[in-house]
Structure 1
Amino acid sequence: MLTQDQIINKTADYVKSILSGEGSGHDWWHILRVWNNAKTIAATENADLFIVELAALLHDIGDHKFHNGDETVGPRMAAAWLSELKVTGTTIDHICNIIIELSFKGANTTSEMSTLEGQIVQDADRLDAIGAIGIARTFAYGGHKNREMYNPNIAPELHDTFEAYKSSTAPTINHFYEKLLLLKDRMHTQTARNLAEQRHQYMEEFLQQFYAEWEGKR
Structure 2
Amino acid sequence: MEETELIQATAQHLEQLFSGEGSGHDWWHIRRVWKTATKIGEQEGADLLVVQLGALLHDIADWKFHDGNEQAGPDAAMAWLASLNAPVSLQQKVVTIVKEVTFKGAGVETKPSTLEGQVVQDADRLDAIGAIGIGRAFAYGGYKGRELYNPGISPELHASFEEYKKNQAPTLNHFYEKLFLLKDRMNTATGKKLAQERHSIMQAYVQQFLAEWHSEEKPPSSFLYV
- For the aligned pair, the TM-score class normalised by the smaller chain equals over 0.9
Are the aligned partners of 2:44 and 2:190 in contact in 1 as well (CA < 8 Å)? no
Say if 2:42 is the partner of 1:17: no
**Cα distance in 1 between the residues matched to 2:210 and 2:152:** 14
**Cα distance in 1 between the residues matched to 2:167 and 2:50:** 32
Alignment of 1:112-191 (within 5 A): 112-191=111-190
Say if 2:177 is the partner of 1:201: no
Greater than 4 Å deviation, 4+ residue runs = none
**Cα distance in 2 between the residues matched to 1:39 and 1:52:** 7
Determine helix, strand or coil for the equivalent of 1:160: coil
Q: Cα offset for 1:190?
A: 0.9
State the one-letter code of the partner of 1:130: I
Q: Cα offset for 1:47?
A: 1.0
State the one-letter code of the partner of 2:148: M
User: TM-score, normalised on structure 2?
Assistant: 0.94
Say if 2:58 is the partner of 1:40: no
Q: Cα offset for 1:204?
A: 0.3
| Aligned residue number for residue 52 of structure 2 | 53
Identity of aligned residues (%): 56
Q: Cα offset for 1:216?
A: 2.9
- Give per-residue Cα distances to partners, 1:68-96, cap 9 Å, x unaligned: 00011111111111011111111111111
- Give per-residue Cα distances to partners, 1:31-71, cap 9 Å, x unaligned: 00000110110111121100000000000000000000001
State the one-letter code of the partner of 2:110: S
**Cα distance in 1 between the residues matched to 2:214 and 2:114:** 46
- Give per-residue Cα distances to partners, 1:92-125, cap 9 Å, x unaligned: 1111111111110100111021000000000000
Q: Which moved more, 1:71-80 or 1:156-165?
A: 71-80
State the one-letter code of the partner of 2:125: R
Gaps of 5+ in 2: 217-226
State the one-letter code of the partner of 1:49: L
| Aligned residue number for residue 209 of structure 2 | 210
RMSD, aligned CA:
0.7
Q: How many matched pairs?
A: 216
User: TM-score, normalised on structure 1?
Assistant: 0.98
